[in-house]
Structure 1
Amino acid sequence: MIEHAWLIVFGISLLAGILSGIPVMLVLGGIPILLAFIAAPFGGFDLGYLQAYPQRAFGVMSNSLLLAVPLFVMMGVLLEKSRVAERMLMQVGRLLGGSPRALVAAVLLISTLIAASTGIIGATIVMLGLISLPAMRRVGVPDGTASGLICAAGTLGQIIPPSIVLILLGDQVANAYLDAQQRAGNFAPDAVTVGDLFAGALIPGLLLVGLYGIYVVGILWKHETPASAEPLPESRLSDVLREIVPPILLILSVLGSVLAGVATPTEAAAIGVAGTILITAARVRAAGNEEVMPGVVSEEALTARLTPAWLRLAMSLTAAVAFGLVALRMAGVGRVDLSAENIALDGGAALALGLTVLLVLGLAVAVIALWRAGVMAAALYETVKVSAMIFGIILAASMLSLVFRGFEGDAWVHEVLTGLPGDHRTMLLFALAVIFLMGFVLEFVEIVFIVVPLVGPIILQDVDPVWFAVLIALNLQTSFLTPPFGFALFYYRSVAPPEISTGTIYRSVIPFVLIQLATLAIVFLWPDLATWLPDMLFG
C-alpha cells in the first residue's frame, strides 16, 4: 500500500479538484503537474516523463481525425442557431404524440443516428446538448432525465459502427489474437478484421439503444406536461416532411459516406458541414437568431419570414449537385490521374469538375445568405469557443494519463493482471473490472493500448476475439459516463446552462451506467449476441 501511496494521493486530489468547482480543464491538467513536482524531490516521480508531453500535444493537434471535432461542432451549432434541428425534433415528437415521453423517444432515435455518424464523444455530446436540450426543457422533460439521455446517447458512437474504439480495438485484438493462437500451437489462425468487430457490435449496440428507450419512456410514462410548458400543436404531413426529411438525409449522408467507404470520418464531417449550410440557408428566418417557438406563431407569419423562394430552390439544386458528385465517386467515375504525364479530362472527369464548380458557387451563396441573416457569424464564434473547450480537455487529459504512467500506475495494473489465478472467464471478468476502473482517469486510447496487449495473448487462447472486443468496447463506453471523471460529463458540462448543476448531471447518468452494465452482463452471458452476425456475414 505504501509503495502506491502517490497513486492514492493522485486519485484523491483529482476527486477533490473536480468537486471544488474549479474548471475541469484546469483540474485535469493542473493537479497532475502539481503532484508530479511535489513527488519528484521524494523520488516518487521522474520529471523526465514530462518531456514527452510536447510530443503528445503535437500528436493531438496534428491528428487528422480530430479535425472532425470543430466541423461536427459547427454542424451542431448551425442546426441550433437556425432552429432546424429543434424543429425536426419537435416534428418527430408531434408524430409520436407531442408528450415529453414522445420527445425523449424522438431525441433517442435522432441522437442514435447523429452519434453513429460522428463517432467522436466530445463533438457528439456538444451537438446533442445544443440541439435537443432546449427542446426537451420546453416541453417539461426534467433536467436530470434530459441530461442523462444526452450524455448516454452521445457515447453511442463508441459502440455503434463505424466507431473509433472498434477500429483501434480491431488492430490490437488482431495482434493479440495472433500471438495467443501461436502460443496455443495454432500457426494459421483466421484473421480478425475491423469488419468483424463492426458486425459483432451492431446487435449489442442496438440492444443498448432499446434498453435506453425503455427506460426514458417508462420513467416519463405518467409524467404530465407542466402547465407552463409550451404546447406542441398538431401539424400537417407536408410540414412534417419539410422539416424532418432534409436533416435526416443529411445524417444518413454523413453515415453512409463512411460506411460505403466514400469518405473518412473527417471528410464525412466536411460533408456534414456543407449539407448543414445548405439546409440552414434554405430554412433560416429573415429575423436571424430570434427566439421563436416553432408552431406557436401562425403558419402565415412563419412563411413570411422564410428566405426567398429562389434561394430555397438554389439550395435544393446545390444539394442535388452534391449527391451527384457522391454518386460519381461511388461509381468510380470522374477521377483524374494526376500522376500521368499528360493530364486528360474524360467525360466523367469533366462532369465531376463542372458539378464541383456549381457546388462551390451554391455554398458561397448559402454562406452569404447566412452571414446577412446573422447566423454564420454567431455560429463561427460559438464553434471556436466550444472547440477550444473540447481540445483543452483533450490536452489536459493527455497530461493526466502521462503523469498516471509516471507514478507507475500502468505497471501496477500489469502486476495485478498477470498475477491473477483462475480460468480465462475469471481473468476476463477481472480485466473488464480493471478497464472500468481505469476509465476514471485514462482515455480509451490509453486503455486499449495498455490492457489489450497485456491480457489479450493469455485470454484469447480460449475466448472468441470478436466477443472479447465487443465486451471491451461496451466497457469503455461505460467509462465515459462514470462520475466523477467521465469525459462525457465534462463535455456536457461545457454546454449545459448554469442552472443545471454538476451534481444534477452526475446523478442523471447513474441509471444509464446501470443499463450499460446490464447490457455488458447480457453480452457476457450470451456471446452469440456478438458472434452470430459476423459468422453469418463472414463465416
Structure 2
Amino acid sequence: MEIFFLLLLIGIMAFALGSGYPVAFALPGAAILTIGLAAASGYLFAGNTDIFFHSGGPSQWLSAGVTNLRGVYWEVDRDTLIAIPLFIFMGIMLQRSKIAEDLLVTMAQLFGPIPGGLGISVVFVGALLAATTGIVGATVVAMGLISLPAMLRNNYSPQLATGTIAASGTLGQIIPPSIVLIILADQLASASDQAGTIRTALYKQSTGELSLPSEYAVTSTSAGEMFLGAFVPGLVLVGLYMLYILVFAILRPKDAPSVPYEGKRNAKFWLDVVLTLVPPLALIFLVLGSIIAGIATVNQAGAIGAAGALVMAGYRLPKAGTRNIFVPAALAIAGLALIALALAYFPMNIKQVLATGATMTGIYIGVLGTVLVVASLIWSALRAFKMENTLSEVMVETAKTTSLVFIILLGAAMLTAAFRAFGGEDLVRDFLNGLPGGFWSKFFIVMLVIFVLGFFLDFIEIAVVVVPIIAPILLADPSANITAVWLGVMIGLNIQTSFLTPPFGFALFYLRGVAPKAVRTVSIYRGVIAFIGLQLLALVVVAFYPPLVNYLPARTSLLAVTAPPPVNPGLQYCIADYIHDEFEDRGDEISAAIERAQGLDVSYLPASLSRDWQEGLEKAAQAIPLMNEINEADLAMEQAAPEYRPVHTVVRRIERDMNRINDNLEEARTLLSRGFGDPDRLEARIAEREQELAALEAQIPDDWLDTQAAFNELASADRRARQLFQRTVDQAYQPVPELIDIIAAADRLPPFEAELNRLREAAPTLDEDTVDDVFRPVESAIGDVPAAREIRSLLSDARGEIEDGNFDEADTIMAEAQALLQSEIEWRTRAEAELLPDLRAYEAAIRDTIGLRSQPRLPREQALDVAACNANHRDISLNF
C-alpha cells in the first residue's frame, strides 16, 4: 500500500501541474491530500492511522516539511537564502535601467564586422547580463526585441538567430550570481548532512568502526563555493556558443553574414563602448570579486550588487530634463576610493586606535567615504522613485518573486517529506544502488531524469523536489567521492536545458511572445536544438574533468584568511603527494641540509634543547625513507586493487540486497507481532524472505573474509605509514623554530640584569603587601621571553619567601635567578653569532616539506598545488 500512496502522490502532483494549477500550491496540496488519504484509509481499514506510512504517522510527516524549512532560518550557518531577494532586486533594477539595450547596440557595432559577429555579440551580452541580472525572462525578451529584428534584417538564419537569443538568455542560470545556484547550495547543504550519515553507516557496516575517518567525510558546500565552481563551466558554455556561431558562419556565410559598421570608429565611438561596458563589468567585479577574494559572503555580495544596481539605475533610467545625472555615481566612486584608501594605509579598528593613541585620520577618511556612499544611495533611490515610480515597482516585483520562491521551497519541503513518508527515498536509493556500473550508472540515470523533467518542470521545482532525494545517494557513494559543489554545478548545467526544451521551455515562450510573426515557432524549436546539444557537451566536459568546478573553490578556500591549517585531515593525501614530489626533485638538497645541521656544534646549549635538537635531526633523516614506505604501501594497494575490486563490488552489492530484504523481514515480523494484517500471509512472507537471504548469503565467495582481511591489511599498512610519517615530520620540525625563537630573543634578556639587581636590593625592605607590586611586573615581562620561564619561576619562589618573611632564602633564590640569567645571556649570545644563521638556513630548506604540516597555513605555492590535487575526485570505495 505504501507504493500505492507513493504513486498517488506523484499522480496528484503531475495532474495539478499539468492542469495549470500554481506550482506553489500544487506541491504542498499533493502532499497534504495524499497523507490525509493514507491516514484515513489506515483508520478505516486497519484502525490505525499510521499503518500505511513507512515510519511515523500523519502528524509527523505533515509537519516535517515546515520543520525542515524552518531549520534553515534558525541555523546560523544556513542563512544563504537571504541573498535571494538581494540578487532579485539587483536583476530587476538593472533590467528596468535599459542596460540590455545599451549593451546589445554597442556590442553589435563592435563585433558585427566579423563572421557571425551579431550572434557572437548576443552571446557576449547574454553572458554579461547573466552576471548582472540573472533574470532569464527579462534577458530573452530584451534581446529578442532588440537583436532579433537586426539579425533577421541582416539575413541571419531564423533558426540561428532565435537559438542564439534563447540560449544566451539562459546563461543567467549557470553564470553567477544565480538564484538557482543559491537554491542548489541550500539543498545540497542538507543533502551533505544526510550523505555523511549514510557514509558513516556504510563504513561502520563494512569495517565495524564506529566513527568515520575525517578524510572520508562528505564535505558540504555554500552559495559562495557554488558561484566559484560554476564560474569556469559558465565561461566554457559561453565559449562553446561563440565557437559554434563562428564555425557556422564560416561554413554557411549566407546564414550568418558579417555586418560592417557604417559609422566612424572615432573617439566618441570608443567612449560609448567604455561607458557601456565599464559599469556592468565593475559591478560584476565588485559582486563576484568580493566573493572570490574572500572579502564578502554571498549575502554581503548580494547587498553590494543591489546597491550597485541602484546607483547604476540612477543615471541609466530615462533622464529627460534631469541635471547632474552622473553626480550620485561619482559620489559613490569617490566614497569607495576613500574607504579603500583608509583600509590600505591606516588602522581602522577604533578600539585599537584609542588604545594605542594612533592617529584618527583613517577613521575620519573612512567615515567621510561612508557618508559619500550613503548619500549616493539615497540620491539614486530618490531619483529611481521619482522616475516613473521605478523604485516602488521594483520593490513590489522583488517581493512577489521572492515570496513565490519561498512558497515553492516550503511546498517542495512538504512534498519531499511526503515522498519519504511512503518509503520513496528508500525505493530510489535501492534502485540506484542496484544498478550495475557503480556511481556513473547512477549518475547517468539521475542526469537523464533531470533532463527529461526539464521538458515539463521549472528549474526551481526540479531543484527543490528532485535534489533532496537523489543528492544524498550520489554524495554518499565512496566510489567517486564527488564534491557537493561539483554535483551542484552538474545539476545546474542540466537544469539550464529546461528553459530550452519543449513543450514547456520558458525561454521559447518568452521569445515567441516578442518575435515577429514571420518567425515560425518550428524555427525557434529547431534553432535551440544545437544549443541544447552544446549544453549537454558542456555537461560531459565538466563531468570528466572535475577541476573545472572544484579548483576555484579549493584554491579560494586554501588562500583565504580562514584557510584550514595544513594538519587538516582532508588535506593530508594531497600534502603527502606534494612532499613526495618535492623529495623526488629536491631530496639531495634536503638531505644535504640535514647533514649540515647534524654537524653544527650545539654542545653549549642547555641539555634539554640540545637533546630536542638531536632528536629532531634524527626524525628529519627518517622523513625520506618513511615517504618511500608510503609509496611502497600505495603500490601494494594498487597492485592488489584490480583483483580485489570486482569481488568487493559483488559482495557489497549482495550485502546491500541482504540489508534491503532484512528491512522487509523485520517489518513483516513487527506487523505479525502487533497483530496487523493476515498472519498466514505474513508468515509466508517471512519464510520467503528468509529463503532469499539464505540464497544471497550462499552467493558470497567462501574466501571473501580472507580476501578482505588481506586487502584491509594493505590498507592498514598504508594508513600506518602515513600516520608514522606525519608524526615523524612534525617531531622533526618542531624543535627548529622553537630554538630559533629562543636564540633570536638573546637581546631581550640583558635589560633584566639591572631589574634583578634592583629586586634583590629591594627585597629586604618589602613585605607581603608591597612585594607583589614590585615583583609581578618583572615576572610577567621576563615570562614573555621564549624559554625564560624558569627564571620567572625562581622570581615567583623568591616572592613567596618574602611574603613568608624568609629573606635569606629569598636572597639565595634571587642569586640563583641572576646566575641563570647570566648563563642564558652567555649561551644565547654565542648561539646568535655562531648558530642562528645556519639554523635559519636549515629551517628554510625543510620548511615547505618536512615542516609543511607545522605551518599555520599553507604557503601560496603549496596551497595552489594542494588545491589542484583536491580538485580531482578520488575513489575511496575499497576502504568501505
| Residue in structure 2 matched with residue 248 of structure 1 by the alignment | 281
Q: How does 1:170-249 map to 2 (within 5 A)?
A: 172=192, 189=215, 203-215=232-244, 236-249=269-282
Q: CA deviation at 1:249?
A: 1.0
Q: Mark the CA change 1:341 to 1:495 in structure 2 (over 3 Å): closer, same or farther.
A: farther
| Cα deviation, residue 325, structure 1 | 2.9
CA contact (8 A) 1:112 1:153 kept: yes
Relative to 1, partners in 2 of residues 1:471 and 1:434: Cα closer, same or farther, differing over 3 Å? same
Which residue of structure 2 aligns with residue 125 of structure 1? 136
Q: Partner letter of residue 248 of structure 1?
A: L
Structure 1 letter corresponding to 2:486: V
- 1:25 maps to 24
Alpha-carbon distance in 2 for matches of 1:352, 1:106? 40
Letter aligned with residue 52 of structure 1: A
- Alignment partner for residue 302 of structure 2, among 260, 263, 269? 269
Aligned counterpart, 1:301:
none
The equivalences for 1:93-112 within 5 A come to 93-97=108-112, 102-112=117-127
User: Take 2:7 and 2:360, find their aligned partners in 1: how far apart are those partners?
Assistant: 67
> Which SS does the other structure have where 1:21 is aligned?
coil
**2:41 counterpart residue number:** 42
Shift of 1:87: 0.7
Decide whether aligned partners of structure 1 residues 518 and 176 sit closer, same or farther in structure 2, where only a CA change above 3 A counts: farther
Q: 1:319 to 1:200 in 2, by over 3 A?
A: closer
Bigger relative contact order (CA 8 A; separation at least 6): 1
- Is the CA contact (8 Å cut-off) linking 2:310 and 2:381 kept in structure 1? yes
Given the alignment of the two structures, is residue 522 of structure 1 paired with residue 541 of structure 2, yes or no?
yes
Aligned to 1:463: 480
Which segment drifts farther, 93-102 or 514-523?
93-102
In structure 2, the CA distance between the partners of 1:512 and 1:25, relative to structure 1 (3 Å rule), is farther
Residues of 2 paired with 1:496 and 1:392: CA distance?
A: 27
Letter aligned with residue 25 of structure 1: A
d(CA) in 1 for partners of 2:435, 2:474: 11
Q: Secondary structure in 2 aligned to 1:50?
A: helix
Identify which of 469, 476, 494 aligns with 1:478.
494
Q: Compared with structure 1, are the counterparts of its residues 280 and 143 closer, same or farther at alpha carbon in structure 2 (3 Å cutoff)?
A: same
Deviation for aligned residue 1:255: 1.0
Counterparts of 1:361-376 in structure 2, within 5 Å, are 361-374=375-388, 375-376=390-391
Specify every segment of 5 or more residues in structure 2 that has no aligned partner in the other structure, as ranges: 43-51, 153-157, 555-863, 870-880
Cα deviation, 1:271-320, whole Å, max 9, x if unaligned, reads: 11221222222233234xxxxxxxxxxxxxxxxx5x32x34134223223
Does the alignment pair 1:278 with 2:311?
A: yes
Paired residues, what number? 503
Distance 1:456 1:6 in 2: 28
> Cα deviations across residues 440-475 of structure 1 (Å, max 9, x unaligned)?
486546766654544545x43x53645x86356313
How far off is 1:478 after superposition? 0.6
1:157 is paired with a residue whose SS is coil
Does the aligned pair in 2 maintain the 1:172–1:448 contact within 8 Å? no
* Runs (5+) with no aligned partner, structure 1: 288-304
Contact 1:67 1:266 in 2 (8 A): yes
Whether 1:312 and 2:326 are equivalent positions in the alignment is: yes
Structure 2 residue corresponding to 1:75, chosen from 76, 87, 90: 90
Which residue of the partner structure matches residue 434 of structure 1? 446
Cα-Cα RMSD: 5.0
Match among 415, 418, 429 for residue 400 of structure 1: 415
TM-score, with normalisation over the residues of structure 1?
0.73
Find the residue that maps to 1:285 and give its secondary structure. Answer: coil
| Aligned counterparts, 1:482-501, within 5 A | 482=498
Q: Is the 8 A contact 2:499 2:508 kept in 1?
A: no
CA distance, structure 1, for counterparts of residue 523 and residue 402 of structure 2 = 24
Does residue 391 (structure 1) correspond to residue 424 (structure 2)? The answer is: no
8 Å CA contact retained: 1:335, 1:348: no
| 1:419 alignment partner AA | G
Paired with 1:70 and 1:389, the residues of 2 have a C-alpha distance of 11
Does structure 1 residue 350 correspond to structure 2 residue 364? yes
SS of the aligned residue for 2:326 comes to: helix
Letter of the 2:97 partner, please give it. Answer: S
**Superposed displacement of residue 97, structure 1:** 0.8
Aligned to 1:156, which of 149, 153, 175?
175
Q: Distance in 2 between matches of 1:267 and 1:109?
A: 27
- Percent of counterpart pairs with the same letter? 26
How far is the alpha carbon of 1:345 from its aligned partner? 8.5
Q: CA deviation at 1:96?
A: 1.0
Residue 176 of structure 1 deviates from its aligned partner by 8.4
Q: Shift in Å at residue 401 of structure 1?
A: 2.6
2:305 is aligned with 1:321: no
Shift of 1:92: 1.8
1:414 Cα deviation (Å)?
A: 1.7
SS of the aligned residue for 1:76 comes to helix
CA contact (8 A) 1:78 1:276 kept: yes
Q: Distance in 1 between matches of 2:97 and 2:163?
A: 26
Tell me, in whole angstroms, the C-alpha distance in 2 between the residues paired with 1:134 and 1:333: 52
Equivalent position of 2:146 in the other structure: 135
Whether the 8 Å CA contact 1:73–1:386 is kept in 2: the answer is: yes
Structure 1 contact 88–247 (Cα < 8 Å) conserved: no
State the one-letter code of the partner of 1:349: I
Q: Is the 8 A contact 2:104 2:147 kept in 1?
A: no
CA gap of 1:25–1:452, structure 2 versus 1, over 3 A, is closer
- The answer on whether the counterparts of 1:177 and 1:456 sit within 8 Å (CA) in structure 2 is no
How far residue 341 of structure 1 moved from its aligned partner, in angstroms, is 10
1: CA distance between counterparts of 2:487 and 2:382?
48
Query: 1:333 touches 1:348 (CA, 8 Å); kept in 2?
Result: yes
- Report deviation, 1:362: 1.8
Worse overlay, 396-405 or 209-218: 209-218
Alpha-carbon distance, 1:56 to partner: 4.2
Contact 2:66 2:410 in 1 (8 A): no
Give the greater-gyration-radius structure (CA). 2
Flag the 1:397–1:510 CA change in 2: closer, same or farther, 3 A.
Answer: farther
Q: TM-score, normalised by structure 2?
A: 0.48
- Alignment CA distance shift 1:453-1:66 (3 Å): closer
Please state how far the C-alpha of 1:263 moved relative to its aligned partner.
Answer: 1.4
Distance across 1 between alignment mates of 2:64 and 2:492: 25
